[in-house]
Every structure is written in C-alpha cells, then in structure tokens.
Amino acid sequence: MTGTGAPAPPRTLGVLGGMGPAATAEFLRLLTAAVPARSDHEHPRVLLLSDPGIPERTAAILAGSDEPLPAIRDGLRQLAAWGADLLAVPCNTAHAFIDRMDAELPVPLVHIIDATLRAAMRTSPDGGWLAATTGTVRSGLYQRRAAEHGYRLLVPDPAEQDRVHRAGVLVKAGRVDEAGALLRASAGRMWRQHDLPLLTACTELPIAYTAGGLPEERAVSSLAALAAACTDRLLAPVPVGVGGARS
C-alpha cells in the first residue's frame, strides 16, 4: 500500500534476453508458472527486449574483450526507460559484464548467480557441480560467490567442461536431443566422481538436462532460480527501490 492507502502500482520486470532465445522463452514460461496467479490480471507486467545480436559472451571473456558490455548496458537502460523497475537477464555469462556496471544500473537487478547459489544452498547444502559455459567458469563468477558462502562447488575437468559447454551450444543450434544426450553422459561421469547435484548454470543447460531425461531432483536450474527470485521480488510487499542494487 502507498502512504495514501491506495494500492501500490504494479511492478514491471524488464527482461534482457536473446542470449539465447530458447533460454529466454523458457525463463518466461518458468516465471509464469512461478507466479501464484488466478487470472491474467494477477501476473506481473513484463517488458522483454530480446537482442540476439549482443556479441558472444564466452568468446569475449576468453579473448579478454569487453565487446558485449555496451550492448548489455544499453539494453538494460532501454528497459528501465520503458518503465521497468526491476531487471533480469537470463544468461549467466552475461553477468561477468553486468558486474562491471552494477553502480550504473538505474533500477535493481535480480542477479542470476546469487539466485542460483541461494537455491543450491537450500536444496543441496553439501555442495554441487558447476555446469556452465566455459566463459562463466573462466570468469570465476560462481566460484567466488560460492567461496564467500563457504559452499562446496566442484568444477569439471577441462575435457568434461568442453562437453558441458558443447551441450549449451547445441541447444542454441536447435539440436536439443543431441544436447540432452551429451549432458546426460557428462552428468553420469561427474556423479560417479561425486554424487552431488548439477547447477545448470548456463541457461541453455536446463533445457538440455530435461531433454536428456535426467532426474529433476539432481539439478539446480539457474533459470528456475532466477524465475523464483524475480517472483519473490515482484510480489514482495515493499516496493522495489531505485539504483543499482542487486538481489
């Protein structure tokens, strides 16, 4: 409620997607499913800017380039200008660049790495496997935050990492069944080493994981974690503030 007793205005989520399109579509599906709505009118207002032209994030990280940063910054600012008062980006690797502009964001952003690690710590307090793009692994985004929380996070060996990354690339190419088979084989090898859930920390990997017929309870989906965290923020009784804070 506002100070006058009138209902607070509905919150608007701005989603910068297109990295890649299939993951963005799946995020919106999960967000819709997460909202406890009984009618259209109880769902949050969502603005989507799907920009598949944003330069490839892993290639930039491996090359030591900031090439994706201006496009990501411009996209988030555009969403805020359109009226978003909360931001989300369903791409883990993009957050290596988002973290460099946190103070510049005009409205808060729900951080996918923080959301995924919180979900992992709740569901698997003994730790988990990091299944992510090579760019995300190389950036250390998850490893640093996990260390801050004292959370055990295992990283695949280089050969396995290449296969995990390839599974995400296959989803982007529309070859979902191949991605599922590849990730299923990788997951089996990782589980034989340590029986801990996979953090599917590339937003294509939850799609591959499902296609591979793998058990839902043995994964922590970064897409589902982001959708749940956004829902919590959108439905929270305290209005979202302004500024570059992240959640």
Name the active-site residue from 31, 87, 91, 196: 91
Name the active-site residue from 132, 182, 190, 202: 202
Question: DSSP string spanning 173-236?
Answer: TT-HHHHHHHHHHHHHHHHHH----EEE-STTHHHHHHHTT--GGGEEEHHHHHHHHHHHHHH-
Buried (b) or exposed (e) across 34-73, using 16+ Cβ within 10 A? beeeeeeeeebebbbbbbeebbbbbebbeeeeeebbebbb
Specify which residues 110 forms β-bridges with. 88
d(C-alpha 47, C-alpha 198), whole Å? 30
Given a contact cutoff of 8 angstroms between Cβ atoms, the answer to whether 39 and 33 are in contact is no
Q: Is 230 a catalytic residue?
A: no
Q: Is 202 a catalytic residue?
A: yes
Enumerate the active-site residues. 91, 202
